[in-house]
Structures are given as structure tokens and as C-alpha cells.
Amino acid sequence: MKRIAVLTSGGDAPGMNAAIRSVVRIGFSRNIEVIGVRGGFRGLIEKNFNPLLPRDVSGLLEKGGTVLLTSRTDEFKSEEIQEKAIENFKSEHIEGLIVIGGNGSQSGNFALSKKDFPVMGVASTIDNDLWGTDYTIGFDTAVNNAIQAIDKIRDVATSHTRSFIVEVMGRDRGFIAIDSAIATGADIVLIPEVRFDIGKIIKNIKEGMEKKKLHHLIVCAEGAIYARDLEQIIKSRLDIEIRVSVLGYIQRGGSPTRFDRIIATLFAERALTELIQGETGKVVGIKDNQIVLIPAEDAVTKQKDINSSLYKIIEEVSV
Amino acid sequence: MRIAVLTGGGDCPGLNSAIRGIVYRAIDFSYDVIGFEEGWKGAIEGKTHRLSLVDVEEIVNQGGTILFTSRTNPFTVENGPDRIMENLKKFEIDALIAIGGDDTLGVALKLYQLGVKVVGVPKTMDNDLSGTDFTFGFYTSVEVAVDALNRLKDTAKSHKRIIILEVMGREAGWVALYTGMAGGADWVLVPEEKPDFEAMCTHLMKDLERKGYALVVVSEGVDISLEEKGEVDQFGHTLLQKRSVGDFVADIISKKTGISTRSAVIGYIQRGGSPTVFDRMLALRTGVKAVDMIQNGEFGKMAALVGSEVTAVPLGDATSKLKLVDKNWLDLLRVFLK
């Protein structure tokens, strides 16, 4: 393989730039020409290709977001579009592709590799919802962003002896919610995967108030319940000062943590190495501290379990 | 001599540093210091808090307030002022230091006029208090907002989007102005100026074309003439989190430009956290000055930063009118809207 392409797709995640840098520089060291595709899968269709040299990716390690830009992937589900993408590659003599992204992006990986175009994926999404990998690039930074914000909210909660509901990202999965809840000492965490009992939450808060707990901190994933709705429910049943904070997009960006920079660099190296050696249709992730390859189909179709021991511990710690 | 301290209104970074300044200076004059908990509420109910050296020696870097706070206004509580005076007598308090914004200091002034020996320490995150150039809390909160704006830039740039950041500021746009200028925003909406959405959208489209993204900072208090007003607190302020100005502005941009636009609200995150060096220093200095003012018998005044000095300024100067963003500042802001 002499010439490959790299793209980022789906929601941006801190560390994507570090992965791009790794692909470009390691590719250069191994005499492989790397072409950057701008704007995700849309860039494939529009043939938005630019060769990337080591100096083009200087200073990228610490930058959040993605310099290759990104787009959502809905239209890439059509076979016609996929064939068009492969045609575009062939006309530019591009022999393989590295896809940096989460669920939707790795579905694109699966689709193209099924059509016999060599593709390797790099697991990157702040949601951490890819099966087969313990962590995805961007998750650690996003959780740290959430923790930083919730620590500040705790100051306000303590000063005003007020309770807070903090809504974090996670439409379908509660990974961000669970980790940020444990790390900030939240009393209650609500995630989309576990049905929750409003009666029990009310009872918990009531008991806490009787035990002279100064305030309660609830972390909820946006997909479990909207914080504002929960606020209304709690207010209608308890005489309690409670406020809402929706963290939203602030969680996404920012300079990647040491963990995200390192796994980004390692994932990208492995993806490149495997692609050159003829591997395809896989996603690079990390399992038990080892860099691993996950079949793209499994990564996007199988349901990754939440760590139920973490979930249980929150209840026990909050007394 | 025995003095009492309280913190009122919204909490902000630096309150603990100010309390520390007061207690440390009081030791120099052999004053006893106690705290009232939860602002005026604690003064009315006689809820006290021990404030000795060991209670404050490790709090210079702590956000929030160890004395707790509330928005209680004693002049709307039955016999509020009388009960405060009774408690001052009961706990043998000779002078009172009130740390707070215009509401808290307004109450302090009224009590002073009723004969209580009061000294104020100004505090506001919004920096909208007159009579003082800066108040502690402001810089810390702007740092948080600028940090958030930088993160939003990553997402806006990656997705080629316009993103709105809503920051605090009910009447005054200082937080938005500083965040916008220091964070490199493309448009800033402040409460002092009627929003020109048409001009904003034209400008943002230009930015989008040139660099592929755009950022807008908007004060929570910008007049969007919504019909529904939210709850009102005891000082008559609309509780602003009920109406999201950021979402409203994002909607306008989406409609006018056809580009789907998102917003983020910084909200309470901006209030907490460890104070920056500037805010710690200012809080310590104003705390020390407040005790000096008691020693000198300068009551009915607050310890305010004027130029580079902390001086005693009449409380009335702080509470008579808000310090707003004026034309000079708006002109300066416009230099960066290109």
C-alpha cells in the first residue's frame, strides 16, 4: 500500500486531532502517502481530498475538535453513495482508508470493507458506546470536562444548601453519567439503560433530608430523563430547593487529556499497521489495557454493557 | 470589640478569601469575630458560625462560602430588621460586615440608617456594582466562561456551525463583553443594547463563509421580549434560568439563515470553583480594609477598589445605580467584530 486516506466523522471528540497526527506522521515514516478527507464521509463523495505532510499536523496534539472537519453520516447508508466513494478512491489511487469516529462512522467502515475496499477504524466518540473496547478516544476528556463543571456546581450547592440536577450527555448510553457521578460524589445517577423508580428517588432524598444531608446531587444522562422534567417531578412532591444545570456542548470540546492523547496515538498507529498488512473491517480499541482489533460489525451492532459494579457503588457511597 | 460577618446573595469565588482577610485582620486588633449563616436569614434567626483562625486558615482557595448564603431580604420578612437588631444585642455584636452585591449592601445601608454600625464588602460576579472598579468573583467567572467558549469553538469548527454561549448577567453585560473579547467571539449581545438580529445574522454568515464557523456570546439578561416571565425572587428579580435566551437566539439564527444553530448555557458552573489570583488578592484586601474601617469608625461605607487602591466608599454609591456597559466599551467591542 502506497497511498491511504484518513477521515473523521460523526460528533467531534477531543483526541481526534492526535489520531490524525499519528496517522500522518507514522505514515510518512513508513513511506506511505496520507490523504486527508475533509468533512467526513461527505468529503469522500465530494472528493474533498488533500495530501497531508508531517508539518501540516504540527501542534495538533493538544487541540480539541478535528482539523479534518466532520459531518453526520446518514446519507452514507446508500449503496450507490458507497460505490461512488470507492470510485473516487480508485481514481486517486487511494488503496485504503482509516476512519476515526464512533458508531455511525464505523458502520461506514463496515459498509465499505464489505465492498472489498480496505478500511480500518479508530474508536473515537465521547459517548464511549462502541462494543469491544473499554474506552474510546474523547471519552476521558469529556468526563473530565463534566467533572470540572460539576465540582463548581457543588460549591454553589454547598453555599446555598440547594440540591442540583446536572444533565450530562448520553442519549442512549450512560457511560458519561456514571463516571462523572462517581468522580464527583453524586448521590443519585440516572442512565438510559436502567429503569428508575421516581418513588424511590423521592424516598432517598427525603431520607437524606431527615438525616440532615445539606444537599443532594443528581447526575442524569439526557437520554434517561431531561433534568427540567425531573426538577418538576421532584418539586411537585417535595419541599426542596433544587436547581438544574444542563452541561450540553461544553463537555465536547477542549484539549484532550493525557489518556486520550496517548490512546489516540496508539490506536492510529495500530490501525495503520494493520491496514498495510491487509487487515480490514476492524476497529482499533483497548481492552484490559491491550490494544485490540474489533470486527466493525460487532463494534456497531453489539450492545456494550455498563459496568454494573460502578453503578451499584454510587448507591452505597451516598449515605 | 466583637464583629459579625455574613455573606448574602449569589455565591461567588473569593467569598472565603474575603472572610479569611477579615478574620486575620481582626486578630491584629484583638476583635472577636463570629459569622451569621445564610446571609440575612442567619442574622434574623440568630444562626451563628464560629470564625476563628483555624476555621479560615485553609480556605483562601476555596470556592463558595463557608458561611452559606441566601437571598433573604429582612425588609420583606416580618419584623426582620428588629429581629436583626435584637440578635446583634443578644450576641453582643458591636459592628457588622456584610459581604454581598447591591441587594445585600442595600439592606446594609438601610440598617446603617437605622443606627447599626455596618461596613460593606462588595461582591458580584456580574461586576455591575457602582462605586468600585472591580469586585472579586468576576475574573474567576469570566475565566470559566472563556474556557467554555474555547471548547465550543472546537465543536463549532469541526462541524462548521454557529454556536451560542449564554453567560450570566441580568442587567449588565460585563461577563458577556469580557468573555466575547477575550474568547474571540464573532458577536456579543449585552442587555445594555437592543439586539439587532438582522445585522448579527449578516455578520455571522460572513464569518461562516470566511472561517467555517462562528461563535456568539449572549448575556442571560438580553431583552428578547418573551411574554412569559419566570418566577420572581424576594428582591423582585426574574429567576432567569426559566427562560433560555441562548435557545431563543439560536432559533432566530436558524430561521434567518437556514443553518441549524445550537446553544449552550454556562449557568451555575460560572459561580463555583477556586478563585483566580486576582480575585483572591482583591478579596483579601477588601476583607482587611473592612476591619480597618471598623477600627477607624468609618461605618455606612464599603471597601471598594478604586484605581489600584482599596478605599472606603459610601454604601449609597454602590446601591444607587448599576454600573453598566457604556458606549465606549461597546465601541471597543465593535473593533473586534469583523
Across the range B244-259, mean pLDDT stands at: 92
- Provide the total of helices (H) and of strands (E) in chain A, helices listed first: 11, 11
What angle do helix axes A16-29 and A258-276 make, rounded to 10 degrees?
A: 40
Spell B18-49 as b/e; 16+ CB within 10 A means b. bbbbbbbbbeeeebebbbbbbbbbbbbbebbb
pLDDT above 50: residue A214: yes
Whether A64 and chain B come into contact, CB under 8 Å, resolves to yes
Band of residue B226 on the pLDDT scale cut at 50, 70, 90: low
- Minimum-distance CB partner of B151 among A8, A160, A253: A253
Cα–Cα distance measured from residue A65 to residue A60, given in angstroms and rounded to the nearest whole number: 10
Residues of B acting as catalytic residues: 126
Check whether B100 has a pLDDT greater than 50.
yes
Q: CA B308 to CA B105: how far, in whole Å?
A: 22
Residue B112, amino acid: Y
Residue B205 Cα, gap to closest chain A Cα (Å): 18
DSSP letters spanning B208-245: HHHHS-EEEEEETT-----S----B-TTS-B-GGGS-H
pLDDT of residue B230: 52
B151 with A244: Cβ contact below 8 A = no
- Per-residue pLDDT averaged across A74-102, rounded? 94
Whose cell is 426559566? That residue is B242
Pairing label, strands A119-123, A96-101: parallel
What pLDDT is recorded for position B232? 62
pLDDT in tens, B179-213: 999 999 999 999 999 999 999 999 999 999 999 99
Q: Which three cell numbers stand for residue B231?
A: 418566577
* pLDDT above 80 for A318: no
E strand or H helix at A90, and its extent? helix A79-91
Q: How far B48 CA lies from chain A's nearest CA (Å)?
A: 15
User: Mean pLDDT over residues B161-170, rounded?
Assistant: 94
Rounded to the nearest angstrom, the gap between the alpha carbon of residue A138 and the centroid of all alpha carbons in its chain is 5
Residues A186 and B63: their CA atoms lie apart, in Å, by: 18
State how far residue A288 is from chain B, nearest Cα, in angstroms.
30
Chain B residues in contact with A254 (beta carbon < 8 A):
147, 150-151, 154
Query: Is B229's pLDDT higher than 80?
Result: no
Ramachandran region of residue A95, left (φ > 0), alpha (ψ -120 to 50) or beta?
alpha
pLDDT surpasses 70 at A51: yes
The shortest C-alpha distance from B328 to chain A (Å) reads: 31
Chain A nearest-CA residue for B12:
A156
Distances (CA, A) of A191 to A126, A151, A167, A195, A272: 16, 20, 10, 8, 36
Do B73 and B235 touch, CB atoms closer than 8 A? yes
| A69 to B157: CB separation less than 8 angstroms, yes or no | yes
- Name the catalytic one among A12, A127, A134, A260: A127
> Is there a contact between B269 and A8 if contact means CB atoms under 8 Å apart?
no
Query: Distance (Å, rounded) from C-alpha B137 to C-alpha B114?
Result: 30
With beta carbons under 8 A apart, name residues in chain A contacting B265.
Answer: 246, 248
Which residue, B328, B334, B338, B310, is CA-closest to B132? B310
B312/chain A closest Cα distance in angstroms: 27
Window A:135-194, CB contacts with B under 8 Å: 145, 149, 151-156, 158-161, 164
Span A249-284, pLDDT tens digits: 999 889 999 999 999 999 999 999 999 999 999 999
CA A237 vs CA A234, A246, B51, B181: distances in Å: 5, 22, 37, 44
Residue B268 — very low, low, confident or very high, per pLDDT cuts 50/70/90? confident
For an interface test with B, the pick among A61, A160, A184, A243 (most B C-beta atoms closer than 10 Å) comes out as A160
pLDDT at A75 (0 to 100): 80
User: Cβ of B144 and A161 within 8 Å?
Assistant: no
CA distance B24 to B33: 10
Q: Check B163 against A244: CB less than 8 A apart.
A: no
pLDDT tens-digit profile of B74-93? 999 999 999 999 999 999 99
CA–CA distance, A182 with A203 (Å, rounded to integer)? 21
> Are the beta carbons of A156 and B64 separated by less than 8 Å?
yes
With an 8 Å Cβ cutoff, is A248 touching chain B? yes
Report the length, in residues, of chain B: 338
Residue in chain A nearest B69 by alpha carbon = A160
Give me A95's grid cell.
488503496
Question: Which of B68, B154, B242 would best serve as a mutation to test chain A binding (most A beta carbons within 10 A)?
Answer: B154
Q: How many CB atoms lie within 10 A of CB B142?
A: 25
pLDDT value at A131 more than 90: yes
Q: What is the mean pLDDT of residues A5-17?
A: 96
- For an interface test with B, the pick among A42, A148, A159, A226 (most B C-beta atoms closer than 10 Å) comes out as A159
Label residue A310 by pLDDT band (50, 70, 90). confident
Complete DSSP assignment for A65-77: S-TT-----GGGG
Q: Are the beta carbons of B158 and A243 separated by less than 8 Å? A: no
* Percent of chain B at pLDDT exceeding 70: 94
Of B320 and A134, more confident: A134
Q: pLDDT higher for A136 or B230?
A: A136
Name the residue with cell 506511505.
A32
How far away is chain A from the Cα of B267, in angstroms, using its nearest Cα? 7
- A164/B268 CB distance under 8 A: yes
Q: How many CB pairs under 8 A join A and B?
A: 108
Q: Residue A209: which H helix or E strand, with range?
A: helix A198-210
Contacts of B261 (CB under 8 A, 6+ apart): B161, B162, B163, B164, B250, B251, B253, B254
pLDDT in the model for residue A41: 93
B17: nearest Cα among B252, B232, B281: B281
C-beta neighbour count of B81 within 10 angstroms: 18
Active site residue A229: no
Contact flag A8-B158 (C-beta cutoff 8 Å): yes
Contacts of B109 (CB under 8 A, 6+ apart): B118, B120, B300, B315, B316, B319
pLDDT tens column, B283-338: 999 999 999 999 999 999 999 999 999 999 999 988 888 999 999 999 999 999 88
pLDDT beyond 50 at B241: no
d(CA A206, CA A176): 26
Look at residue B228 in the predicted model and tell me its pLDDT: 46
- Supply the pLDDT for residue A120: 98
Per-residue pLDDT, averaged over A272-297, amounts to: 97
The 10s digit of each residue's pLDDT in B110-147 is 999 999 999 999 998 899 999 999 999 999 999 999 99
Sequential DSSP letters for B259-281: ---EEEE-GGGGT-SPPPHHHHH
Suggest the residue from B15, B16, B70, B159 to mutate for an interface test with chain A (most A CBs closer than 10 A).
B159
